[in-house]
Amino acid sequence: MTNKSLIRKLWDYTNCTIAVGIFYNTVQTETRERYDPMNSKTLMYILKRIVLAFLTVWVVITVTFFVMRAVPGGPFMSEKAISETAQAALEAKYGLDKPVPEQYLTYLKDIFTEFDFGPSLKLRGRDVIDIIGDGMKVSAKLGLMAAGLALVVGVFLGAVAALRRNKFVDKVIMVITTAFISMPSFIMGTLLLLVFALILALVPANGETSQGLILPVITLSLSPMANITRLTRSSMLDVLGQDYIRTARAKGVSQRKIIFGHALKNSLIPVITYFGPMLAYIVTGSLVVEQIFAVPGIGRYFVSSITGRDYPLIMGTTIVLASLIVIMNLVSDIMYKIVDPRITLE
């Protein structure tokens, strides 16, 4: 073998080694980026979503502020026997005598620099942030209990319906869930209040006590529970038809392990995606339910602020509820990526 042919073989071997190394590094990088739940693409997506969240909240603030000011009337129009001088003094005290654009800029500055929503115009002597804090404690407790109940019962009923597909139990569950989805929460709440609180007298009608939260929790959980049931059923039916489930059965894996170790676990991905927005929906959707059951949550303050034209309280509750929805959607997307790293967020 001549030196020239030897050098050529060494050169070809070196090029082959380099090519294999580049290919291996490329595959390893792509695999790491694909299955790492917090790779650079995911972090960039989260950053973009955070920026979009701030823009969304800003749009909500702007639209609510100017629409509220455009409606005829004012917060002191309902005051009895109030003179023009007294009304002018009240407007000057709360800065309502200034031009609307100046009020808007001042409000934005107070929010983003001091996180100050201002004082309530109707609940004299109380700041809006304190009112929202007191109301959110009750609403959050109510919402978390309703979400937990909806999740547990919904997943259980969905799994039962999937395992008993086209059987009598499956048909009954589908009929009940369809009814719960179709019926508005205020109708369901009124019906439960009439039957269990007034006729049967099993629970108190007033939601200010711990026992009085039973009916509001059930009312808020029925519609989300029905949606979770249907999501779990459809997802589990799809998983049970996969090849790896048939392979597990052929290998003699027990039915219990197949259901709880494989089918149910993989069928919960759509439920996790739905859970974040569902939690925000329950808290924001509790406004009417809190009025029906006299629950001292943020819903009561929100409704009373609208009827009383309490501008700072309307703005404060709207901002908090909008922020909650935006945050829950973002958390839901991140959880989706963590549970299933194959998902690409862009």
Convert the pLDDT of each residue in 12-54 to its tens digit: 544 454 444 444 444 444 444 454 555 677 777 778 888 888 8
Q: How far is CA 70 from CA 122, 139, 225, in A?
A: 20, 30, 40
pLDDT band, very low/low/confident/very high, at 274 (cuts 50, 70, 90): confident
pLDDT band, very low/low/confident/very high, at 6 (cuts 50, 70, 90): very low
Domain 36-346: CATH superfamily is: MetI-like (1.10.3720.10)
Beta carbons within 10 angstroms of residue 145's beta carbon = 18
The DSSP-derived string for 254-311 is -HHHIIIIIIHHHHTHHHHHHHHHHHHHHHHHHHHHHHHTT--SHHHHHHHHHHTT-H
Q: What is the mean pLDDT of residues 58-87?
A: 77
92-112 confidence digits (pLDDT tens)? 777 777 888 888 888 888 888
The tokens for 135 are 């109301």
Assign 3-class secondary structure to 102-160. Answer: HHHHHHHHHHHHHCCCCECCCCCCCEHHHHHHHHHHHHHHHHHHHHHHHHHHHHHHHHH
- List 127's β-bridge partners, or say none: 119
Q: What percent of the chain has pLDDT over 70?
A: 82
- The pLDDT value recorded for residue 307 is 80
Q: What is the mean pLDDT of residues 217-224?
A: 89
**Selection from 48-62, 193-207, 247-261, 294-308 with the highest mean pLDDT:** 48-62
- The pLDDT value recorded for residue 78 is 60
279-309 confidence digits (pLDDT tens)? 777 877 677 888 888 888 888 888 888 888 8
Distance in angstroms (rounded) separating the CA atoms of residues 334 and 155: 21
Ordered by start, the domain boundaries in the chain are 36-346
317-342 confidence digits (pLDDT tens)? 888 888 888 888 777 777 766 666 55
Please state the pTM of the whole predicted model: 0.73
Judged against a pLDDT cut of 60, whether residue 237 lies above it is answered with: yes
- The pLDDT value recorded for residue 302 is 83
For the chain, give percent helix, strand, coil, nearest 5: 80, 0, 20
Look at 202 and 1; give whichever has higher pLDDT: 202
Check if the beta carbon of residue 95 is closer than 8 Å to that of residue 103.
Answer: yes
Judged against a pLDDT cut of 60, whether residue 199 lies above it is answered with: yes
pLDDT band, very low/low/confident/very high, at 183 (cuts 50, 70, 90): confident
Length of the chain: 346
